Structures are given as C-alpha cells and as structure tokens.
Amino acid sequence: MRYEAPTTSKAAAELLAAEKGKAYVLAGGTDLLVRMKSGMLEPDLLVDIKQIAKMREISKTASGFRIGAAVPGVEIGEHKALGKAWPGVVEAAQLIGSDQVQGRCTIVGNLCNASPAADTVPALIAAGAKAAIVGPKGRRTLAVEKVVTGPGQTALAKAEIIEYISLPKRAPKSGDAYLRFIPRTEMDIAVVGAGVNLTLARGIIKSARVSLGAVAPTALLVADAAKAIIGSKLDDEALDKLAAACSAACKPINDKRGTIEYRTRVAGVLARRAALIAFERAGGKR
C-alpha cells in the first residue's frame, strides 16, 4: 500500500485518477482504518487529504458556510458561528463516536462511508446542504441527498473527491435539530435518526425539510412529513401527521441494532421531538 499526502485538491484527484488498483481517500480514517484492520479493505493507495489547507477550514461565506472535507468533528463543535446558525448539523456531527473519534472523524467521511445510519446525513439533508466535488473533469455540486445511492455506494465517479460541504445562510425565523436513538448514551450507531429544518413566517411554518436515517438503504428526505407541518404552528395534530408520515416513509430492516417495527415507530417519535426543538429554535410558540 502507498500513502500519499498531497497539498492541493487537484493533486489529490490526479493521484486517485492515476492509480490502477484500489484507491481510497483518507480523511479522519475512523471508518477506513477499521475496515482495513478487519481485512474488508485492502487499499493499494491511500490519499490523505488532511494536508490540503482548503479542506481543513470552516469558512463563513456570503451564501452561508463551507465545511472542509478534512475538518474533524471537534473543530466543527468549536466553531461558534456555525453552531449558532446550524445547531442541528453541529449536534449531529458531535454525535459521531467518542471524544477520541471526534478528534478525527469528518462529516464528509460520514457521508462518503455511505452507511444508512450516518448521523450527519439526515441533518445535512434537512439543512439543504450541498457537496462541492472536484474531479478529473472539473468541479460539480450535488445535493447531499443525491450523494449516497445505496449502502456503501455513492454517486462519486472514480477520482472524484468532495472538497467541502456548503450550508446555506441561516434564514430569519428558522431553526434545525437532529435526534437519534441509541440503546446506550454514547458510542452506538443510530438505530433511527431524524433531522428537521424549518422556517417560520408570522409564527407559522412556511417551509420545512424532514430527513430520516437508518430506516432505509439511504437517508430519506420525507416530503410528506414536511407537508404535514407546513402551514401549522406545530400543534398536536400536525405533529401526529408528521410522525405518521415519517413512519410511513420507513423501509427498514431487522438487524442487530433494531427491528422493523421498532424503527418504524421510533422514526415518528424522534421526528416529532426534533421538530419541536427546531420550532423552538426558530422562535416559534405553540
């Protein structure tokens, strides 16, 4: 195996493009190294992107925020402006693993690992985040919900790298939240995750995005769930409809972490709770 640590995105893409064997991007490594240890992955080339200065930054731009692909969770948590604007996204990023894992893990890694249970993905989808991709054929932008195509599968072509995630500017009277269920208090993979982002106009929900994790092959953007609360003050009836729409959208499996029945039901419970938090953050009053 060869290890390379280029200093530009272009050089990284070129290295990946030129490799004939199995090549992987190394960001935090918290998933990659585990899979290498188990023998599931035997890379011929690892391209470490942590020496690429641009990928190590969180920057505030005119249109919102850019979170570099190599920014570890702990730095996302320390960024005050980002936390104020997108508390749900930041909370989701902070839920990945322990403090030790936070020292390494990245949200782009969480996304590209393409696990249905990734914590940041529903929060990013709800936030309307976009992935900025660089590759041999140039640059492109893709909505986060389009990046993962199936368990372990992404829409990235060979040698394409996500350079950063962009989050829109926080609209006035809006808020987001992410909740997940795990059996313990820490260290588990989500059994169910729910992200909600909503905007109010005169106290009423004007727009909303609701996303679920760990209940289908990929994280879901549930349009019916958003519809259920748009136009409401998040009264109990709207919440019931939201929960029902979320449960209806679930296509989960039985596995070592949860059952179909459990995931279906708890998806509704968590979406309801996340919506209440987002609503409060937006300044809403029920």
Partner 1 sequence: MSGAHVSTTINGDAVEFACPQDESLLDALRNRVGLTGVKEGCGTGDCGACSITLDGRLVCSCLVLGVEANGKQIGTVEGLADGDQLHPLQEKFIEHAALQCGICTPGFLVAAKVLLERNPDPSETEIRYALAGNLCRCTGYDKIVRAVQAAGKEMRKQNKKKAKKKKKK
Partner 2 sequence: MKQDTNFTNQEFRVIGTRVKRPDGIDKVTGRARYGADATAPGQLVGMFLRSPHAHARIKKLDVSRAEKLQGVKAVITSADLPDEHCGGDRELLNILENCMARGRALYDGHAVAAVAAVDATTAKKALKLIKIDYEKLPHVTDVDEAMQADAPVIHDWVYTVGVEPQPNKPSNVSMRAQFGHGDVEAGFKEADVIIEKSYKTGQTHQGYIEPHACLANMSPDGSGELWVTTQGHFAYRNTCAQILGLNMAKLKVTSSEIGGGFGGKTHVWIEPIALALSRKANRPVKVVMSREEVFRASGPTSSTSIDVKIGATKDGRITAATSECRYQGGAFPGTWALIGAMTSFAPYDLKNVQTVSYDVVCNRPKVAAYRAPSAPMAAFAVESTVDLVAQELGIDPIDFRILNAAKEGTQSSYGPVYGPIGIGPTLDAAKSHPHMKAKLGKNQGRGMACGFWFNFGGQTSTTINVAADGTVNLSVGTVDVGGSRASLSLICAEELGIPYEQVKAHIGDTAALAHNDMTDGSRGTFASGMATIVAARRTIEVLKQRAATAWEIPVEEVEWKDGCAHAVGEAHADKAPLSLAEIAANTENTGGPIAGHNEFVADGAGVSFASHICDVEVDPETGSTRVIRYTVIQDAGKAIHPDYVEGQFQGGAAQGIGWALNEEYIYGDDGRLQNPGFLDYRIPVCSDLPFIDTQILEIPNPNHPYGVRGVGETSIVPPLAAVANAVSNAVGVRMTQVPISPPRILAALDAESA
Of the pair 32, 226, the CB lying nearest partner 1 is at 32
Residues 203-262 that bind partner 2 (CB under 8 A): 255-259, 261-262
Here the tokens at position 45 are 């080339």
Binding partner of 46, given partner 1, partner 2, none, CB within 5-8 angstroms per partner class: partner 1
Selection from partner 1, partner 2, none that 183 binds (CB < 5 to 8 A by kind) is: partner 2
Residues between 98 and 117 that touch partner 1 (CB under 8 A): 98-101, 103-104
User: Per CB under 8 A, does 194 bind partner 2?
Assistant: no
Closest C-alpha among 222, 219, 242 to residue 231: 242
Q: Which residues contact 286 (CB under 8 A, 6 or more apart)?
A: 233, 234, 235, 279
Distance CA(126)–CA(102), nearest Å, equals: 22
Is 187 a residue that touches partner 2 (CB under 8 A)? yes
CA 203 to chain centre: 28
Say if residues 132 and 165 touch (Cβ distance below 8 Å). Answer: yes
Per-residue binding letters, 122-141, with partner 1 (x by CB under 8 A):
--------------------
What are the φ/ψ torsions at residue 117 (nearest 5 degrees)? -100, 10
The tokens 């987001």 sit on which residue? 176
Answer yes or no: are the C-beta atoms of 24 and 47 closer than 8 Å: yes
**Three-point CA angle 35, 120, 63, nearest 5°:** 130
Q: Shortest distance, CB of residue 267 to partner 2, whole angstroms?
A: 11
Least Å distance between CB 270 and partner 2? 8
28 binds, among partner 1, partner 2, none (CB under 5 to 8 A by kind): partner 1
Where do the H-state alpha helices sit in the chain?
9-18, 32-38, 73-78, 80-85, 87-94, 99-102, 107-112, 120-127, 144-147, 223-229, 236-249, 260-281
* Cβ atoms of residues 42 and 2 within 8 Å: no
Comparison of 62 and 185: residue with beta carbon closer to partner 2: 185
The item of partner 2, partner 1, none sharing an interface with residue 191, based on CB under 5 to 8 Å by kind, is partner 2
Q: Which amino acid is at 151?
A: P
Could you say which of partner 2, partner 1, none residue 181 binds, taking C-beta under 5 to 8 angstroms by partner kind? Answer: partner 2
Q: Among 39, 62, 80, 138, which residue interacts with partner 2 (rule: CB under 8 A)?
A: 39
Given partner 1, partner 2, none, residue 133, with its beta carbon under 5 to 8 Å by kind, binds none
Q: Is 77 in the site for partner 1 (CB under 8 A)?
A: no
Q: Does 18 bind partner 1 (CB under 8 A)?
A: no
Q: Provide the binding-site residues for partner 2, judged by CB under 8 A.
A: 37-39, 181, 183-189, 191, 255-259, 261-262, 265-266, 269-270
Applying CB under 8 A, the residues found at the interface with partner 1 are 1-3, 5, 26, 28-30, 33-34, 36-38, 43, 46, 48, 50, 72, 74, 97-101, 103-104, 185-187
